[in-house]
Every structure is written in structure tokens, then in C-alpha cells.
Structure 1
Amino acid sequence: MLNSSPLRAVFIVLVALAGILFTLPNFVAPSTLDKLPDWLPKKQIVLGLDLQGGSHLLLEVNREEIVGERIKELRREARSILANDNGIGHLINTEGSKLTIELTDQENFDTALNALQELDIPLSQTLGGVGGVDEMVIDRTSDGNISILLTEEGITERLSSVVAQSIEVVRRRVDELGTTEPTIQRQGNDRILVQVPGFDDSERLKDVISKTARLTFHMVHPTMSAAQAKVQGLPEGTMILPSQDGGDELVFEEVAIGGESLVDSQPGFDPQTNAPIVTFRFDTRGGVKFAEITANNIGKRFAVVLDNQVITAPVINSAIPGGSGQIFGNFTAESANDLAVLLRAGALPATLDIIEERSVGPSLGADSVAAGQVAGFVGGLLVIIFMIAAYGTFGVFANISLIVNVTLILGTLSMLGATLTLPGIAGIVLTIGMAVDANVLIYERIREEKRAGRGSIQAIEAGFQRAFTTILDANVTTLIAAAILFFLGSGPIRGFAVTLAIGIITTLFTAYILTQFMISKWYARRRPKNLKIALLKILPSDFSFDFMTYRKFAYAFSIVTVVGSLALFGVKGLNLGIDFKGGSAIEVQSNEGPADIAELREIVGGLNLGDVQVQEFGTPQDVLIRVETQPGGDEAQQVAVTKVIEAVEAAGYDKRRSEVVGPTVSGELATTGALAVLAAMVAVLSYIWMRFEWQFAIGAIAALVHDVVLTIGLFALTGLEFNLASIAAILTIVGYSLNDTVVIYDRVRENLRKYRKKSISALINLSVNQTLSRTILTSITTLMALGALVVFGGEVIRSFTLAMAWGVLVGTYSTIFVGSPLLINFKLTARKEVAKKEERRADGASV
């Protein structure tokens, strides 16, 4: 070890330098970065919406509308084929995704059925794909009619195509707003995620994105008004549409000219009245058609229709050549600009419903950054001071590794262009606490080897070698939890998972390779006569406590607390956040002095929005308002939030953030959260079963269930909000608890081979005592880091960090008093079988 390879030294230096180079751009102004050579890294960490403010929307394509529009289209095409092309009399009935065609003369049945087959074109061919998906089934019904039924595969394929088209339209619209680095991506088959950093006017963003903006031009009926048509009946080929001024217009169904012919649209002002208007220009073909329509209909009214609403319906006074015109309406300068943006970007192929909305103001984002920085600095400083106090020179090595570790995490995030969120900062701070665990494992192992009579060099080498397996097993279990968080989580939770996973990988490098390199170089230079590792003794060298004697008392205590937690959960339930029950949450801040909670309750209560909660949130100036799910669905929820924001802003409060989660999303999040916890347990059970024996896997899962149930009991007892971040906290507890349990299990496995005549109770007791110093030290450093998050991290993630701190405590307890003694009850006594397995492995290796 003392003669480490020069290549190893070069590798360590290169990795550390790479981490520094990729991290530095985050501390340099963008203008300075532009002046640097192109070969230098320039990527910066992208701050999430919760750190820089912005808007998050989850949009869903309206499936019913897609089916309805397609059925209408098929109805027109079928009527044209049968009546116009073949002269076949018929009646068409519509029901959901099915057309039923009744022929007036059954002798034409075969002719009609064959003629209608031209409608059945493989969908992927019409949508530019390959292979073909049958969109419909055309068949004879039992009563002698013809049915045209849309298939589920066809609807899904058309929905997928609509989402792809919608993404491009949404991207053009967002780009027109002048925002920077928006995220617009597909989620599943029918959803689009839109995140726009730095743009916190979510109302305007929703208006611009969710409007279909289908522009059409129709002739107004020349002799009959909408009111007359309602009394006398609609003339054939006409429809009644609402007008922007509050009335109705009777227009012809036929589209005189469509918005697809538009090539440009700009906001402007009427030179006579100075009122805001929108100008438009058609392409050559559209311009010719527009000129013909206006020339042939002088004196008649021409309706400009946007999303089935008449914006204006002026009288055509003369032919309009050149293919350009103006749209007049009750516009403001901003609404005229937004309409021009919509028309330039093109119409959405379908309606997009907003099913989830999150908005963070820039001031709250800045506060979150400051809170995260303070929490990270305080937590890191506490850990650094403690490690020096506990291990002296070796603590300095651990701290250098820790600093390099954080640098590598930040550098990796920069290199990947990953998004850093507030839970992501929590992941880094948690890594600070947990990364020390690897160094503590190594140092405590070196101390053991030294006490066993080994020389300094041999103790150091044996300490690193024997600790590595434990470090690997412990970190892999946490990595499993992080991976499940990433794949099943969303938004900030995935950010937490990314930073945690990166932190685990960098910890393996810094704690084992870097620390070993530094210690070897230090020892080669100093050659100390006495290898003093620990300055602060947590426990005396000869400390031994018979934990297993008290295991029945521990079982009784655990059973009482578990049953009590389940009872609390059953009686009180959880204070579910909007992630799981739907609804809205709006955080506001008073402009002048402390917030008046009673006044706000009266203001919001007068809006008739059902169950509304108003409570302090952090500082006396901050207030959190929760509104229950509205009966009118997602659209009604959006209206409710708008009402609340307008009412509180009029009372002198600023909106800091808002969240709206529809019932569809909340149900999915609840299901996904439960699956995430279950998947984590199954995954780690499989890993431990593979690495150890079945008894170890069952014991680890029992300890895991114990910790999860007690954490749920904490939420039920305290009334802390249980949201998506709470699921992340539980999964982190799963990782930490397993980390702790695996360390002891690894020592039990080692002692099973070493002490073949000891009773299983004495052997487990010995293993717990041998690792007790490490368990206590790791818990202290992790709690220091989490304590800084609890105190300085801010109200938004307080329940998240409190749950993790609680998990560290119960995880430490369960490792010693649940997971370890259960091995006795699971009859882990067959050390002869273990010996036979070892002999068979040895025989196999020697063959």
C-alpha cells in the first residue's frame, strides 16, 4: 500500500481536477464564460423552479374530444361516400366511439359495406408511420346495420400523434414569449410536461399554452339572427356560436377559410381609435381565396372565429386583395400580443387540459437558494469540526475527501446539465452526513486491527480491505432506493434521487480510493511510531453490553410503538398534502407586518370554495392557503385558485407559490408512491438474500417495516403534511436503515466463519458491540447534517427533513434491537452448514 502506483496517483488527481473544472463555471458570470476558450467546460447547474422561480404545468390531451372529433369526421365522410358518391339512402346514429348506419334499402348493403372500406386506412400511414395500425372495425351488426367502431389501438395511436404535434405547437408558443431554457417533453401517451424557469406568471402561461387557437372564418347568415334561429329552428348547414361581446351569432358551418393559411400575425393599434388590434397575413393561396370571398360577399358580415367563439363579425365593405386583414376586439396590448403569438405558433390539434400546476415566485426561489446554502454550510461545518475532534489527522483526511466528494457531485451535475432542486440540495446535505460513514467504517476497522496486535502498516491495509465489502454492500442498498426514487418519482423528487445516487458513487471513490491514497502518502512520509487514530472515544475500548439479553423488552417496546403508530394512522389518519388528495395550495406573504390569519380566513371563506384552510407557514408574514378539490374538475380548480390569488392580492398579499393537483394526478401519485416503497423493499430483500442468507433478508425487511410504520406514526401524531416529498423521505430512510443493518450483518457473517463454537446470541452480541462506535458516530454526523436542514432549510422541506432525522433515530434503534436479534428467532444456528459451504467453495477454488 505504501508504494502505490503512479498511475493511481494520476487517476486520482485527474478525477479531482475534472470535478473542480466542471464545478467552477457555476461561480463565474455567463459573460465571463463566453470569453473563455471553447475547450474549457462551460455548463452550469440548472436551478429547478423551486430555486429560481417559474411555472410548471402538466397538460393532458382531451381523449374524449379526440374521439368525438374523429367520429364527427367519419360521420361526414360516410355520408359523403354513401349519399354523394353512391346515392344510397341511410340514417347514421352516433354512440361514443361507434357509428351505426341504417340503410333505407337493404339491397344496397354489400355496395355500402364495400364503399365504406375506403375509410379503413391503417393509421400510421396517414400519420407518417410505418407498419399500420387498424383505426377502426367496419362490420355487419346482428340487426342488419353497418357499424364503424374505433379501436383502442387506433385511438391510442392518434392520441400519440396529437401529443407529438401539440408539443411542437406548445414549444413555438413558449419560445415566442421570450423565455429561456424551457422544458417541454412528453409524459406517457397523452401528457405534456411544461416547465418554464423564471416565468412565474402562470395565469398568462396557461392562457397562451392551453388555448386551442383554432382560427376559422365563416359567413354570417344574412337574413336570420341567432335569436330567431333558436325560436324557429336552425337553417340547414348553420350553427350558433357565442360572441365575445356576450351575444350569439348565427354562422354557416362551412369554413370559408382556415387559420392554417396564416403565415404571420402581429399585434398593432387601430390608427383611428388607437385601440389594440391583431393584424394577419395569408399565404398566396389563402390570399387569393380571401380576396374572392370578400369580393363575392360585399355588404355581408364575415365572422372571425377563435376556438368556437366569434371574436368579431364586421361587414365586408369592399374586396380585400393582398391577403392581409385586421382582427378587432376588446383587446388589451398584452392580450393582443398573446393572440398574435397563438396565431403565429399555429393551432393545437386538440384541447389540452391542465391537470397539475405549480408556480414559484422569484423571491421565494431566492429565499430557497439562501436557505439551502446556509443549511449546507452549517451542516458541512458541523461535520468537519466533529470529524477533526473525533479522529484528529485522520479526520482531516476524511474532511478533504468530503470536500472533494461535494465538488465531484456538483461537477457531475454540471457536466450532465442536471437540474438542482431544493430536495436535491437536501440530497447533497444528506450525502455529507452519510459519506462520513465510509471513513468511519475504515477508521474503526483499523483501530480493531491495531487492538488485535497488528502492526501499523498491516492494520491500515487490513482496515481498508475488510471495510470495503461492508461499504459496498451498505451503499448498494441506498443506491437501490435512489434508483427506485428516480424511476417512479417526478420533478424535485427525481432531483433528490439524482444527487443522492451521484453522492453514493462519488463517496465510494473518495472514501476508499482517495482516503487510502492520502493515508499511504502521509504514512510513508511521517512513519509515526504510534498510530493514533481516534482523539474522541465514544466508547471505552473494552466496552461490551449484552444487547441480546434485553431483546424481549425491545420486542415488546417495538410492538407497542408499531401498534400505536398503526392505531394513530387508523384513527387520526395522515394530513395528506395536495399531491395525494388533490386540490390547491397557495403560499402568500404579507406586504406589511405579520399576516392577519383571521382576516384571510374571512376573505377566502367568502369565496364559497368549500373546505379552505388558512395557516401560518414559517415566518409570521407567510401564510399557506389550502383549497379542497372543486366539484367541477380540473378547470374549476384553476378558477378557484385564480379567485383566491386575486382576493388576497387585493388585501395586500403577494403570491409566493401555488400548486394545483387534479384528482387524476393525485390518485396516480398515491399509487406510484405506494408502489415505490413496495418496490424498494422487494429490491433490497432480493439483494440481501443474494449477498447473505434468507434469515438476514427477513430480518432486514422486518427492521425496515418497523422503521416505515414508526415514520408514518410520526406523521399521524404530529400532523406534518404527508406529500410526495414524504415518500422520498421514507425511501431514504429505507436506504439509511438498510445501510446500518447491512454493516452489522456483514460483521455477523464474518464472525460466523471466525467463531464456530460461540452461541448465536453471543456472536450477534459481539458483532453489535464491535460496530457500535461506528453506528453512533455515523448517526451523529448524519443528524448534524439533517439538523442543519431542519433549522435552516426552510418550511417547504421541513416535514421532509424532520422525517429523515426521525428515520435516522429509529433506524439506528431497529438495527440493534430488531434486525439483529431476529436472527436468533429465525434459527441462524447452522454454522456447520456455513462451514460446509465454505469448504465446498474452497474445494471448488482448488480444483
Structure 2
Amino acid sequence: MLKRNLWKILLTLALIAWGASQLVPYQDVPFVDYARTHATAKQADFAKLLDEAAGRRKNLQAASEFVALKQIGKERRLDLSQYFPDIRLESTLTNIEKRNDILLTELLRRSKARLQLGLDLNGGVAFTLEATERPADKDDKDARQQKLAKAIDIISTRINAFGVAEPVIRQVGDNRIEVQLPGVNTKDNPDIVNQVKAPARLDFRIVHPTLTPGAGVETPVGYEILTLDYEGRRGETGVEEVFVKRIPEMTGESMANAFARPDMYGKPEVVLEFTKEGKARFAQVTRQIAEEGRQSGRLGRLAIVLDGKLYSAPTVREEIDSPSAQITGGNMTDREAINLANVLNNPLDVELQIKTQYEVGKTLGDGAIASGKRATYIGVGLVAAFMIAYYTFAGFIAVASVTLNVFIVLAVLASLGATLSMPGIAGIVLTVGMAVDAHILIFERMREELKLGKTLVAAFHAGHDKAFTTIVDANLTTLITSGLMIAFGTGPVRGFGVTITIGIFSTMFTALIVSQMLLDMSIYSGLMKRMRMLSLFGSPGIDFVKFGRAAFIASWILVAVGVIGIGVRGHKIYGVDFAGGDVTSLTFKQKIDTEKLQAAADAAKLGEVMTTYQTEIGGGQDILNVQTESGRGEEAVAALQKAFPNAGLDVVGKNNIGPSIGKEIQWNALMSIGLSIIGIMVYVAFRFEIGYGIGAVVSTIHDVLMTVGIFVLSGREFSAPMVGAILLIVGYSINDTIVVFDRIREELKTNPNGTLKDIINIATSKVFARSILTSLTTFLAALALFVFGGGVINDLSFTFLVGIVTGTFSSIFIASPIFYWWHKGDRKHVEAHHDIAPKYEWQGTSKASE
């Protein structure tokens, strides 16, 4: 027994150890405390530096101790890495200022919790950028709006490259862009705003071949003085001034791509790959410089200028007929090279100026967060209590396995630098409800084997072997959906796909390896001598095919009503995330908890309202922002002033805001759903046959349309997290359908004399208990979120409650009847196209062999 399971034990322990390392530290540690405790050399000297840094912050000489340490290192040419010999820096990096920047940034990263919280739970930083209006744009508003929309897309791409998860980027007014970044502090990351808004205008200009700036030297006509920073062999830095032509010989439009890499000496450089036309122009320019250099007797130079800054000015000896060029800089770090390449690949054609920078408070109040946590604990507790009560000792093993499943999902998310928001937590809770499905499949299969008179050992092996194919098929179809979300989705769609993909693999690992190992060891050791299980749901003996037509017609009538409801409400179904809205800024004398503000807004029936506090960086009064649907800002303010007359709420500003879920994300979400449905049909048709694929697609479309219709008819509005909720329903629906189809395929093999109608009814009856049990456990988790969670959590859980019911209904009364009608009720028609269930090479690993 031990020999058979040794590799599983070692693998599980290794995974737990890895997960723990990814999740540590579990919460943020103040930067000063972390740096003080992790300095391993000259600790007393470093402690004095920290005290001095704290003094600078207190005296307002620095925004934080992090910035103060940078100042001290620069002023005294002090290499701070001497106090942290365990943190290895690049051996070729000798510039002290750069070494300190990298070291302090790494310490700051390590001091943060590996799994960061989103804006709703922990707040973050935000800034507003204003587009500089050019004379040509004044009369062409459409062109200006197109440039602003393009700028929003580019900023999104740049921020994604920084690894900031779940940012909010939206248009404010006619010419401003608001960016909210969870878990980011501009006091410790002062350069992030500049990197986000950099236009990235790349110029290749000629350096004057003979003149250099100096005393008494006038600037030639058509030239300007630019400064080039350089670093010597010993790490010393210096500057060189050169005359550079104002008009470039070629621009970044000649560039096709940019990427960072180390040069032949190990120093970072940025490689610029030219277009076909760019390559020809670069050869022409370098040929001209080389010829002029030979005539003057001095080597000519080509300046590479980005946003007015001279990055390098290499000499040109001869024509360079190359598809690429390099930007090098003696004091450029690896991170700077990567950021530079990212900016070059995403150039802005509109100049943006910083208007405001501020810290933004968490969008959920303490009470709302507490209620969300309470709902989480209750939901998980209900699922665990049900599994243990229904399956006793086996249920306890399932709970342990699912707990490990959640642990693995969180660890992988932490390793990817994900941000955890309250909807994300709700999604994990709902995933817990679905994760028990694999265990219920195995336990119900074992129940069937025990009823046939098999021993517990034989039932254990047979149950796992027969459930194996079903579990793999169900998870692989869901993997198709999540994979397409990652490939074609953006923003929340892609993030949701990543989370589901992680959950699929962790569920298969815990159900097929960990749970099997624990059951195997419990049975063979004698700890589990019999499998005690309740039996609340027997075989119903219903003619499912007979009732299929009536159920099909009734459900599609309901779907039609929902679709009509969507058409009647029109754009009113969209919340602020999709349609945009208004933001009203208020000053206040008394700060009110956002949960109380939300309760007052809900009582006034103002539709979607979100309140957040913000504090301008560098001083200024705190501001309360009230975000509402378009045209409802004044109503919201009046309602809040009436509810809190002593708070001194006064309006100081109002702005229109654009949607945070733009048309591109909406289109990508729709495309992901459409491609998922096509992919599912192709996979099911390949693994089973085309009739199954048609049934799966029709039932999935039915579930999505019915759920969306009921959601709209209930008067709710679509928000950003709802995109993920709908995608989750697609995965849940197909998972349930595959279980039914797999049993039909099995019955066709084991019952050669039954009619197709009998086969479908028998197969559906045998999986009926499993479908009800799985739906019940998931329903319990969603119900706890619905009852105890507020705001968007309530909407998410409501959607999933509807999706659970429709998914269970469709797998029984939609998918199977569609399969039956496709084959015209003829078993021979099925057998003419039916594939035999394949044996996976890694199937049957539960066999008892020492």
C-alpha cells in the first residue's frame, strides 16, 4: 500500500510545500519593518539609516522611507546592497544609484503579500491624465475621441506589462483618462505614472559632424543641444552634450517591433526591428552619415532620441543594411530596457499630462467586506457539512481534497501575481461547490458497485475506473472554454479564464490522485471498513424522453420571454461598467462608512451607485466620489445629504465617465463564448459523435440565454463581474451535460437489446442522484453568498443560482432529447456513427498492485 502510493504522497507534500512558499508572506509587512529584519550585514549601521529615513519622511523631506533611502544612497554614493548580501544583483551593474533602485524595489516587492487584494478590498492608487488638445483636433471631435480610445487601449497594454492585475481604466469627461491601480503606491513607485503616459516618439537624428557645445560655440541653425548620460567601466557616471538635428531622418513609424536583451557584454539593450521600408531608409541614412564622415575626416554619429531624451549616439563607419538597430545605454537596467521596449511597442499619438494623483480607498466598506467573508465561510461550511453528513468518512476525505484544491488555486494565482477581489473570492467559493462533483461521481459509482455485491476494495477500484473517463471528459470540455477565454479574451475575461484553467487542473489532481490515495490508504489499512452513505435520491423511473418535448417547449418559451425583456429594456440592462455614468465629487466634514452610504443609496432606489474616498497625493482635502448612472448624480447627492444631514456633504465637481468594459472587451467576451460553444461541439462530436455535440451546444445556448433573461427580468444590471459569471455558466452547463452523455454511451455498450429511448431513460435515471447532489452542493454555496453577500456578490450569486437550476434542467430535459431527436429515436442510427469509449494510457492507476 505504501509503496503503491509513495509517489503520490511525495508529490502532494512537494506541492503543499511549494504552495506555502508562494503564499508567504500572507499579508503586507511595512517596508521599514521588512528591511530592518532582513538586513543580514552591518545591521546596526543600516538601522541608523532607517531612522534617518524615517526622520526625513516625518520632516516632509521625502514621501516615504523608501524614497528617503534612495536619496541617502544617491547623496552619499552609498551602495545599500552591502547590507543585503543575500540579494544578488547583476555583477555587471556598477552604477550605485541603479543598484540601490533595484535593491529597494526588490525589498518592497518581497514585503508585499504574494496574493494582493483588489481595489474593492484594499484600495490602491489612481491618477487622471488629460490629453493636450492640438489645433487640428478642436474642430474634429470624432478624431479626438478615437485617439483617446486608442490611448486607453495602449495604457491598458502598458499596465498589463507591469503586472498590475484588474486595473480600472476609463474615459472621464471629453479629454481625460482615469487609471486606478490596486495594490500600487506611487510614493514607492514614483515612475509608474510617467511610464504609463509616455508618448514614445522615437526619432533617428544626425549628430553634428564637427561642432560640439562649449564656451563661445553657438548652436547651429536647425540643431539643438541634447545631453547623453553615460557610465564608465568603474561605475562612474557622466554626461556628454552634443548638437543634434531637430528634424529626424526617420521616426518610430519605421519600426515593426522592439524587445530587450543583454548585449555581448551582458549589459541590457533594446533591439529595434525595422519594417521593410524602415530597413531601406536606415541603410540610406547610415550611408549618408558614413560618406560625410569620410569627407570630413571625423566619424559621423546617429542619435536615437525617445520623447526628447537622447538614449545613445553611436558612431557610423559604413552603411548598415540591417533589419534591426540597438538602443544601448551605460546606465540602463534590465527593467528599464523592458519598460522601454514595452513603451516603444505601444506608442501614444496623443500627449497626456498628469492632472491629479490620489490614493483611492476600498470600494467596499468594512461591513460589506465582513459580510462577504461571512458568506464565504458559511458557503464553504455548508458544502463541507453536507458532504460529511451524506458520505461520512468518504465525505471528510472529499472535503480535505477540496481544501487542498483551493489552496493550490490560491498558490498558483499568487505565483502569477494575480489580484484577489471580492467577486474573485465569490468565484472560488462557487468553484468549491463544483469541485465536489468529481468526488460525488466517484462515490455514486462506488455505491452502484456495492449494490452489485462487490467488496469495498473492488467497489473502490471499479468506481474510480468508471468515473475516470467522465471526469476527464467533463473537465476537458470546460478547459476548451477557459483556454479560448485566455487566447481571445482581455481584462476580466482573460483573468477569469486563467482562474478556471488553474481550477480544472487542480481539481483533476486532487480528485484523481489525492482523494484516491487517501481512500486507498484508508481502505487497505482497515481505517475505513465500510462505506456509510445516505441515500436521499434514488432512481426516479421517469420517462425523460416522453416529457422532453413539453419541457423543451416550455423552457424555450421562457427563454423567448427573457430575450424580449432584454429588447424592451435595451441599454438600461447595462450598468456603469458597460455604459459609463457620472461621478460627483463631494467634500465632507464627517466621514461616513461606505456601507452606510451604499445602504442609503439602495433605500433611495437610485440604481447602481458606488462610493469611494480619495486623498490627493501631496496634500489636499479628502474627497468622496459618488459614481452613478448617467443623469442620476444630483438625485444621489440629494439622497445622501438627506440621509446624513450632519456630514456636511458639498458638491465640488462633476464628470462623465466612460465604461471600464469597453467594446473590445465586450466583443472578445462574445467571441470567447461563441468559439467555446463551437469548440465544445467539435470536441464532443470527436469524442462521442455529432448528435451529442448538437445536444451539448443547444443546451449550453439555452442555459446562457435563460440565465441572462431571468437576470434582466429581475431588474438587475450588467456589471464587469457578470461577464465572468456568464462564462462560468457555460462551463458548468457543459460539465453536467457531459456526465449524462457519458452514461448514455456506456449504457449503449452494456445494454445491447434496449431501445434508444430506454437507454436514455436508464442512463439519465442512474445519474439523476449525482446531478441533484452536485447541484445541491453548488446551490448551497451560491445561496450563502446570495443571502449574506451584498452588491455585486449578490448579483453574481443570483446569476449562478439561476445557472445551476437551468444547467441541471437542460442536461436532463434538453440535451438528451435533442440527441434522441437528432437520431430520430433509432438506436441503429446512433450505432452507425458511435465511437467506442477510448482508454487513456494513464487510466486504471488505482489497481491494487504492489
The Cα of 1:193 is off from its aligned counterpart by 7.2
Paired position in structure 2 for 1:373: 373
Alignment of 1:35-54 (within 5 A): 35=38, 44-54=114-124
Corresponding position of 1:582: 580
1:571 matched to which residue of 2?
568
- Any idea what SS the aligned residue of 2:181 has? strand
d(CA) in 1 for partners of 2:478, 2:548: 27
**Aligned partners of 1:60 and 1:569: how far apart in 2?**
36
Per the alignment, residue 814 of structure 1 pairs with 810
Alpha-carbon distance in 2 for matches of 1:643, 1:55: 28
Deviation at 1:385, TM superposition (A): 0.6
Q: How much does 1:380 deviate?
A: 1.1
Q: Tell me, yes or no, if structure 1 residue 721 matches structure 2 residue 720.
A: no
Distance 2:367 2:493 in 1: 20
Please give the root-mean-square deviation of Cα atoms over the aligned residues, in Å: 5.7
* Paired AA for residue 630 in structure 2: E
2:698 pairs with 1:702: yes
1:454 aligns to what SS in structure 2?
A: coil
Q: Conserved in 2, the CA contact under 8 Å of 1:382 and 1:784?
A: yes
Equivalent residue number for residue 539 of structure 1: 537
Equivalent pair of 1:398/1:436 in contact (CA under 8 Å): yes
| Deviation per residue, 1:305-364 (Å, 9 max, x gap) | xx9xxxxxxxxxxxxxxxxxxxxxxxxxxxxxxxxxxxxx9x998413999x99952373
Secondary structure at the residue paired with 1:25?
coil
Shift of 1:836: 6.6
Gaps of 5+ in 1: 70-94, 97-154, 175-179, 215-253, 264-281, 288-306, 308-344, 605-611, 631-636
Q: Contact 2:383–2:433 (CA<8 Å) still a contact in 1?
A: yes
Give the Cα separation in 2 of the matches to 1:624 and 1:184.
Answer: 19
Secondary structure at 2:454 match in 1: coil
| Alpha-carbon spacing, 1:259–1:454, altered in 2? closer, same or farther (3 Å) | farther
Matches within 5 A, 1:324-473: 350-352=350-352, 360-362=360-362, 364=364, 369-473=369-473
Contact persistence 1:423–1:496 (CA under 8 A): no
Matched, 1:626 2:624: no
Instruction: Please state how far the C-alpha of 1:431 moved relative to its aligned partner.
Output: 1.4
Greater alpha carbon shift after TM alignment, 691-700 vs 786-795: 786-795
| 8 A Cα contact 1:46 1:418, kept in partner | yes
Q: Quick check: 1:483–1:501 contact (8 Å CA) kept in 2?
A: yes
In the other structure, the counterpart of 2:549 is 552
Q: Does structure 1 residue 197 correspond to structure 2 residue 183?
A: yes
The one-letter code sitting in structure 2 at the alignment partner of 1:581 is: A
The separation in 2 between residues aligned to 1:482 and 1:682, in whole angstroms, is: 13
Q: Give distance in 2, aligned partners of 1:464 and 1:26.
A: 36
Deviation of 1:441 (Å): 0.6
Name 1:501's counterpart in structure 2. 501
- Note the C-alpha offset of 1:770: 0.6
Residues 511-562 of structure 1 show CA distances to partners (whole Å, capped at 9, x for unaligned) of 1100110011111111765x3241x22213x542222222222122113212
- Separation in 2 of the partners of 1:578 and 1:677? 22
1:90-109 equivalence runs, <5 A: none
In the alignment, which residue of structure 1 is the partner of 2:684?
A: 688
Distance 1:664 1:747, change over 3 A: closer
Change (3 A) 1:395 1:5: closer
Return closer, same or farther for 1:258/1:600 CA change in 2, 3 Å cut-off. Answer: farther
Partner of 2:764: 768
3-state SS in 2 of match to 1:628:
coil
**CA 1:615–1:66 in 2, change beyond 3 Å: closer, same or farther?**
closer
- In structure 2, the CA distance between the partners of 1:207 and 1:453, relative to structure 1 (3 Å rule), is closer
Q: Is the 8 A contact 1:615 1:623 kept in 2?
A: no
Q: What is the alpha-carbon distance in structure 1 between the residues aligned to residue 549 and residue 561 of structure 2?
A: 18
Taking the TM superposition and a 5 Å limit, the aligned residue runs for 1:184-263 are: 195=181, 197=183
CA distance in 1, matches of 2:741, 2:165: 47
Residue 676 of structure 1, CA deviation: 2.8
**Larger mean Cα displacement after TM superposition, 377-386 or 448-457:** 448-457
1:823 paired with 2:809, answer no
Q: Secondary structure at the match of 1:195?
A: strand
Aligned AA (2:688)? F
- Name which of 782, 787, 794 aligns with 1:786: 782
Moved more, 737-746 or 411-420: 411-420
Instruction: Please state how far the C-alpha of 1:724 moved relative to its aligned partner.
Output: 2.8
Q: Shift in Å at residue 388 of structure 1?
A: 0.6
**CA distance in 2 between partners of 1:575 and 1:413 (Å):** 32
Contact 1:443–1:533 (8 Å) recurs in 2: no
Cα distance in 1 for residues equivalent to 2:601 and 2:737: 49
How far apart are residue 743 of structure 1 and its match? 0.6
SS in 2 for 1:771: helix
Pairwise CA distance, 1:719: 1.5
- Secondary structure of the 2:364 match is helix
Q: Secondary structure at the match of 1:26?
A: coil
Deviates more, 1:562-571 or 1:822-831: 822-831
Q: TM-score, normalised by structure 2?
A: 0.59
**Deviation digits for residues 236-265 of structure 1 (CA, Å, limit 9, x no counterpart):** xxxxxxxxxxxxxxxxxx9999997799xx
Q: State the partner residue of 1:798.
A: 794
The partner residue of 1:668 within 653, 664, 667 is 664
The answer as to whether partners of 2:597 and 2:611 remain within 8 angstroms in 1 is no
Separation (CA, whole Å) in 2 of partners of 1:828 and 1:790? 42
> Is the Cα contact below 8 Å between 1:584 and 1:660 reproduced in 2?
yes
Report the secondary structure of 1:758's partner residue. Answer: coil
CA drift of 1:163 comes to 6.8
CA distance in 2, matches of 1:425, 1:813: 27
Inter-CA distance 197–689: structure 2 relative to 1 (3 Å threshold):
same
Q: 1:60 to 1:447 in 2, by over 3 A?
A: farther
Contact 2:114 2:417 in 1 (8 A): yes
Q: Work out the CA distance in 2 between the residues paired with 1:599 and 1:52.
A: 23
Shift of 1:410: 1.8
Shift of 1:802: 1.3
TM-score, normalising length from structure 1? 0.60
Question: How far is the alpha carbon of 1:479 from its aligned partner?
Answer: 2.6
d(CA) in 2 for partners of 1:364, 1:538? 41
Of the structure 1 ranges 504-513 and 447-456, higher mean CA displacement relative to structure 2 is found in 447-456
1:442 deviates by 0.5
Give the conservation status (yes or no) of the 8 Å contact 1:575–1:721.
Answer: yes
**In structure 2, the residue corresponding to 1:392 is in which secondary structure?**
helix
SS in 1 for 2:525: helix
Question: Separation in 2 of the partners of 1:659 and 1:457?
Answer: 69
Q: Deviations over 1:733-761 (max 9, x none)?
A: 11101110011011111111121221111
Paired AA for residue 49 in structure 1: L
CA distance in 1 between counterparts of 2:659 and 2:224 reads 36
* Counterpart Cα distance in 1 of 2:598 and 2:528: 66
1-structure distance, mates of 2:725, 2:374: 21
Identity of aligned residues (%): 32
Q: CA deviation at 1:183?
A: 9.7
* 1:386 shift after superposition: 0.7
Cα distance in 1 for residues equivalent to 2:24 and 2:199: 45
Q: Read off the aligned partner of 1:384 and give its amino acid letter.
A: A
Relative distance call for 1:60 and 1:706 in structure 2 (3 A) is farther
Distance 2:364 2:221 in 1: 48
| Structure 2 gap ranges (5+) | 41-85, 88-109, 171-176, 201-219, 230-237, 244-306, 308-342, 613-623, 842-850
Q: Alpha-carbon deviations, 1:145-182, whole Å to 9, x = none?
A: xxxxxxxxxx99xx99x979x969x99xx9xxxxx989
Displacement of 1:373 in angstroms is 2.9
Shift of 1:569: 1.9
